[in-house]
Amino acid sequence: MHTVCVGRFLIDLPQAMRHETRSANIGGFWVAAVAETGAAFSERVARRQRELQAWPDNAPHPPGAAHLERAQRFSLEGFEVHIFQFGRQSLKGMDGGRETLETNIRHEAYAHRDGWSFDFRIDYSDPEDFERLKALIARLRLVEPGLVPDSPGLCLGPGIFVDPLPVGAGEGMGLFASIPGRPGLAMVFSSAGRSTPDAETRLQRDVRVDAELPLWVRALMTKLRHNKRSVHGIEGDEVVERWQEPAGVSTFSFHWEFNGTRDDVLRPFLHLEMSTGHPAAAGGKRVPSPLGEEALLALWDQVVSSIRVRPTRNLDRVGAPAAAPGPGPGPGPGPGPLPGDTAAAGEPCPGSGWWQCAADGKGVRIWGGQRQYLKKGKRMPQALLLPQQTVWEKLRGLQSSREAEAPTRWTLVDRRYQPRPAGSAGAC
């Protein structure tokens, strides 16, 4: 077995397994690690800057044009860093039937040191997030290959973001693992710190979903485990199932999940999943598991029982927030959901702010806009989809509509207390 650091946790994987832990969401910023040479990094960043500079101020911008407003290059903790601010965009929304107008800025950053690059991106932000992004990059350090760091912070592939992190930073991390040359088995481990716990536990959700399955589908499933399971003091839920597929192939799914706590980064949402039957190529047939049932259960028990908080020194600093960089716009939002948190239609809105849902198909719009200002306590709405008008509808001035079949899932993208009224787009 070999030990892998994922966020603030350690997990042991078989030597034969290969894994990837190179992407995360920290405080609303998507972060990815890339192995590349210094020359390749410089060329890639220069090319990106040319793309962002392609449209001059006085030229009409096509939809989605990325106009560069600010660029900065500097050195920080041994990293060469480039930050771009661009893509200013005004988005319409609805608040209680009243149209609002919101202005957003996009930020990207690129940091490189000793053969590793880290890419940062946030699509919905304020100009002040330029400094918040710099504060996050200032916490990045490289980790010596083969070593598990002992500093408090978040592991991400070859690096670690050491505490204290910027104020209010959510922490979403993930690992994917598989066995080379043995298709059909995959494993995913994820954590989400400072996130709102789900209303249902894994066991409760499993019972509800099973009850909704047709009888003929339930007959194909055998429940091997369905109970609480404590792992190093963390009381999670375990569900293990065997499914009978066509052609006599049996597939297995393993889940262990801890619902998490809002304010303790050492007790975040945790989810370990292992599954079999994955086709060797996209669109292919399900394949038999490379291991039998007993061997799969043994592997599962070995891995799930290894999940543990990474030991660190300076324990008083674990998860402690850093002071906000420089003079800010005033007190930040209090307790509540963070950017990246989600809520489903019909649930009470967990916090006022700008929430976004995905369109359902090409050319489909959403009544009120994909991005809407929703108030805490109000029911999250079900998206009303507006398909492209037919020629006949255009002639008659009609617009067909339909509700999405599945409950709409909304993602918080901005925690401002109040929407900006229409006409205040420039006040950014």
pLDDT of residue 410: 82
**Do 269 and 250 share a structural domain?**
yes
CA distance 366 to 24: 29
**Do 16 and 150 share a structural domain?**
yes
The last residue of one of the domains, among 116, 138, 160, is 138
List C-alpha distances in Å: 191 to 122, 250, 273, 425. 20, 29, 12, 36
pLDDT of residue 17: 92
pLDDT of residue 359: 53
**Do 298 and 202 share a structural domain?**
yes
Q: Which domain, by its residues, includes 165?
A: 1-23+144-314
**Do 369 and 224 share a structural domain?**
no
pLDDT of residue 262: 85
In the structure encoding, which two tokens stand for residue 230, read together? 């404590």
Name which of 45, 84, 90, 92 is nearest 67 in CA terms. 84
pLDDT of residue 198: 87
pLDDT of residue 39: 97
Tens place of pLDDT per residue across the chain (428 aa): 899 999 999 999 999 999 998 789 998 899 999 999 999 999 999 999 999 988 655 455 544 455 889 999 999 989 999 999 998 877 777 777 788 777 788 999 999 999 999 999 998 888 888 999 999 999 999 998 888 999 999 999 999 999 998 756 789 999 999 988 877 889 999 999 988 888 899 999 999 999 999 999 899 999 999 999 999 999 999 999 999 887 778 899 999 999 999 889 999 999 999 998 876 666 667 777 888 999 999 999 999 999 999 998 765 455 655 544 444 333 344 456 777 677 777 777 888 888 888 654 445 667 667 778 887 777 788 777 766 656 555 555 555 555 555 667 788 877 654 444 443 333 32
pLDDT of residue 67: 81
pLDDT of residue 364: 64
Surface-to-core class of residue 188, CB atoms within 10 Å of its CB (0-12 exposed, 13-18 middle, 19+ buried): middle
**Do 197 and 129 share a structural domain?**
no
b/e map 362-398, b = 16+ CB within 10 Å: eeeebebbebbbbeeeeebbebebbbeeeeeeeeeee
**Do 235 and 221 share a structural domain?**
yes
pLDDT of residue 298: 96
Name which of 307, 311, 313 is nearest 10 in CA terms. 307
Domain assignment present for residue 321? The answer is no
CA distance 20 to 156: 10
Sheet (strand 308-309) strand order: 2-6, 9-13, 308-309
Query: Beta partners for 273?
Result: 188, 255
Query: Beta partners for 29?
Result: 26
* Residue 154's CATH number: 3.40.1000.10
As for how many domains the chain has, the answer is 3
pLDDT of residue 334: 45
Contact 8, 151 (CB under 8 A): no
**Do 8 and 50 share a structural domain?**
no
pLDDT of residue 332: 40
* Residue 121's CATH number: 3.40.1000
The last residue of one of the domains, among 75, 103, 138, is 138
**Do 57 and 178 share a structural domain?**
no
